[in-house]
Chains A and B, each alone.
Chain A
Amino acid sequence: AQSVTQPDIHITVSEGASLELRCNYSYGATPYLFWYVQSPGQGLQLLLKYFSGDTLVQGIKGFEAEFKRSQSSFNLRKPSVHWSDAAEYFCAVGGPEYGNKLVFGAGTILRVKS
């Protein structure tokens, strides 16, 4: 079955430290890749997306992600975390190989300590 793995359920980082959230997908030669963020009590907001081209993509709020086809990964990074980044982050994969639907990972909850 098509799946998306986010191996870290919770991550805690200090404010100002760097962040990397991991995401691996199980299937697809040309996946469409997404990172969404969900703040408490809110809906999902798109941080960034990759369809094709440059494998390093920039998103909102200072986030970036890198697509590595050889590792089937699309990890999210931020060089310096702010307290307002505390939220839950979801990786998703879509495209024609996924029936034009999105498959979501289980999410990673980010805690930021001061």
Chain B
Amino acid sequence: DADVTQTPRNRITKTGKRIMLECSQTKGHDRMYWYRQDPGLGLQLIYYSFDVKDINKGEISDGYSVSRQAQAKFSLSLESAIPNQTALYFCATSALHGGEQFFGPGTRLTVL
């Protein structure tokens, strides 16, 4: 079984809709991250959480929000989706300070 899972894997939605992407992990890690990937830009950090009561904005948090429901669950929401949020979204976890991160398989989101 995968250690970091993301649902859904693919989603097509319309402008203005609210969307939630979910991430679950069985690695027992305290730290969780949400990234978006756009061609030629690498991965950009949206939000991160170092424990259940800690939420921090990343480089590109505008238009996004997150919820850390438990150590194992970290959800990303797009309150009102817009076409330039069309991207591949990755969740990741880590155990150490700035150490290795483990990635989920990604969610491909298309906003029409």
Contact = CB atoms under 8 A, between A and B. Distances in A.
Nearest to A107: B42
B103 A94 contact: no
Contact of B97 (A43, A46, A49, A96): A96
B111 to A, nearest CB: 20
A104 interface: yes
Interface residues of A, number: 25
Interface residues of B, number: 23
Given A44-B90, A101-B45, A101-B48, A106 B98 contact: no
Interface in A40-54: 42-46, 49, 51
Contacts of A95: 97-98
B98 A96 contact: yes
B103 A32 contact: no
Contacts of B50: 100
Interface string B88-112: 0010100001111111111000000
Given A43-B105, A44-B90, A100 B97 contact: yes
Nearest to A45: B103
Nearest to A49: B100
B41 interface: yes
Contacts of B105: 42-43
Contacts of B102: 46
A90 interface: yes
B42 A90 contact: yes
Contact of B99 (A45, A94, A104, A106): A94
A95 B4 CA distance: 22
B43 interface: yes
Contacts of B104: 43
Contacts of A107: 40, 42
Interface of B: 4, 33, 40-45, 48, 50, 58, 90, 92, 97-106
Given A44-B90, A49-B99, 6 more contacts: A32-B99, A42-B105, A44-B103, A99-B98, A106-B42, A107-B42
